[in-house]
Amino acid sequence: MLRLEVRPQPSKAWGLASPLLALTVTVALGVLLFIVLGKDPVRGLQVFFWEPVRNVRAISELLVKATPLLIIALGLAVCFRSNVWNIGAEGQFVIGAVCAAGVALMADKSSGSAFFVLVLLAGVLGGMFWAGITALLRDRFNANEILVSLMLVYVGIQVLNYLVYGPWKDPAGFNFPQSKTFESAAQMPRLMTGLRVNIGLLLALAGVVAVWIFLFRTYSGYAQQVGGLAPAAARYAGFSSRKALWLALLTSGGAAGLAGALEVAGPVGQLTPHIPVGYGFAAIIVAFVGRLHPVGIVFSALLMSMFYIGGELAQSRLGLPKSITGVFQGLLLFTLLACDTLINYRLRFTGAPTTVRAPAPAAIGSTAGTASHVKEGP
């Protein structure tokens, strides 16, 4: 028989190398997948890992994809380290985009160049509000934050659809479900002329520093992590679990809302029903591949954005389905979970259990004899 046995002392080195090992296994499985689908595996790997970085324009697009993933994953890292499971960052991302679009549509030709700050602020507040619903239901009614936050994703998408198919539809948009294009004052300033990478990249990098300082250099960050690792010890030390809950969810919701604002007022430039592309769900993988550490999340966000761009290129150049991106994301997550399991547990082969038959009680025989005797009597 095969069973898992807890290791007395998990390897710290393998704990750090686990994401790299998971990536290696993912690439190997990807090669097999390309072969099964009848595609050139070398060309497939080139599309996923070389095309996104082959020139300055490609790198700019890589950073555009990585920015929302990085921002959302930073907020989720605070949540998960606090043992608060916010699975609905996608909904907070959508509502942040909706609120940001609502402010952006108010801009006109006379709006100042700093109007985009109001757009970003609206996105942050929208994400915090949507995450605050989950925090309220968990705090007051002990509702499961996993289910509540996940269900709110679909509510947020319906709010988005109502607006772009209804009151916010562009009258001059040939009946397409989209808002009008935002004025330049409401759009994110670009860092370089001719490239789409914008100020969101700087905000994401500033967020990396801010989250690192908060988690590892502040008392509040220490309280959040203690509450996640040892809730009983946190209560004994006087740390408020309610404060930790609200702080974690509002932080992650605000980060997701900021990412939504940067997306809708950045590369998209208008509100469309295609805003929810799965960044909120992919950021969960980004956070765990990055070991819930701000610096590690930077590299995992770049890797995940490669999967997004590679998946898009694989559709046009290799004729693969759109779902190939999700396949690679899922492979990376499951291989990481498998590696982490083998770091904390080891496989132990044991002999097959032997079945011992208990002897029949003497009373059974005597009872049978008595019954037979009774049957034969008058």
- 42: nearest Cα among 31, 53, 33: 31
9 within some domain: no
* DSSP secondary structure, 172-192, as one string: TSTT-S-PPPPPGGGSPPBSS
Q: What is the pLDDT along the chain (378 residues), one digit of tens a residue?
A: 778 888 888 888 888 888 999 999 999 999 999 999 999 999 999 999 999 999 999 999 999 999 999 999 999 999 999 999 999 999 999 999 999 999 999 999 999 989 999 999 999 999 999 999 999 999 999 999 999 999 999 999 999 999 999 999 999 888 899 999 999 999 999 999 889 999 999 999 999 999 999 999 999 999 999 988 888 888 888 888 899 999 999 999 999 999 999 999 999 999 999 999 999 999 999 999 999 999 999 999 999 999 999 998 998 888 888 888 889 999 999 999 999 888 888 888 776 555 555 555 554 444 444 444 444 443
Whether 326 maps to a domain, the answer reads no
In contact, 81 and 225? CB cutoff 8 Å: yes
Residue 82 lies in a domain: yes
Whether 133 is covered by a domain: the verdict is yes
- Which helix or strand (DSSP H or E) is residue 287 part of? helix 279-289
Tell me whether residue 299 is in a domain: yes
pTM for the full predicted model: 0.89
Q: What is the residue range of 136's domain?
A: 66-314
In a domain, 204, yes or no: yes
Q: Based on the number of CB atoms within 10 Å of its own CB, is 102 exposed (0-12), middle (13-18) or buried (19 or more)?
A: middle
Q: How many domains is the chain partitioned into structurally?
A: 1
Asked if residue 350 belongs to a domain, the reply is no
CATH of residue 281:
1.10.3470
Q: Residue 360: count other Cβ atoms within 10 Å of its Cβ.
A: 8
Q: Is residue 152 part of a domain?
A: yes
